[in-house]
Amino acid sequence: MKQKFLFLIVLALSLTISDTLYAQKFSDLDKSPMDVAAYPSSYRVSDKLIKITYSRPQLKGREVASLAKPGNVWRTGANEATELTLYTDMKLGNTTVKAGTYTFYTIPGENEWTAIISSDLNVWGSYSYNEANDVARITVPATKAKESIEAFAISFEESDNGVDMHLGWGTTRVKIPFTK
C-alpha cells in the first residue's frame, strides 16, 4: 500500500514538473499593438492595391510632438519600422514606385509632413534610416481636427485617381495621395 501511495506521489510530481517544463510562455500584450490597413478595406476582397503594417502607439496624456518629433524621421508608428506593400505600381508625388514591399517613414512638422518610401526592410524604428535608400518622397499639408484620436491610426480611401492614405493621431491629420 505504501509503495502504491509513493508511486502516485512520484507520478503526480513528475507530471507537475514536466507540465511546468513544457508549458508555453506567452509574453504580455504589446503596449503598441500591431495593425494593418489596406485598400480595398473589405476583408472579403483579396485583390488589394496597397497595404500598410504598423504598430499603434497611444498618447496616454502625452503630446503627438513629444512622440513623433517635428523635423525628425519617424518610423510612423511604434516598434519596428512601418512596412508598406504596393501590389501594383503607384506614384507618390511624381515618382513611380514599383510594386513591392518597402519601409514607410514620415518627417512630422507643425503645418506639413514629409512621407518617405525607403527600400530598407526588416529594420527596427528609424534608427538606421538612410536617406540614400529613399525611393520616393512627398511633402503634404498637416491639418488639425476637432476630435482627438488616442491611438495612432492609418486608413485608406479611394480618390479620383488613386488611393489616399490618412494618418491620424491626437488632433493631427495627414493625407498622403497615391496615384495610379
Tell me: the pLDDT tens digits for 38-90? 998 766 767 889 999 999 999 999 999 999 999 999 999 999 999 999 999 99
Rounded (5°) CA angle 141-147-150: 95
pTM of the model: 0.83
**149 within 8 A of 168, measured Cβ to Cβ:** yes
Instruction: Name the 3-class secondary structure at 175.
Output: strand
Query: Can you name the residues that pair with 32 across neighbouring β-strands?
Result: none
Other residues' Cβ atoms within 10 Å of the Cβ of residue 43 = 7
pLDDT exceeds 90 at position 141: yes
Of 110-114, 125-129, 157-161, give the range with the top mean pLDDT. Answer: 110-114
Angstrom distance (rounded) from CA 8 to CA 110: 71
Angstrom distance (rounded) from CA 16 to CA 59: 43
Alpha-carbon Rg for the chain in angstroms: 23
Instruction: Name the 3-class secondary structure at 96.
Output: strand
> What's the pLDDT score for residue 27?
77
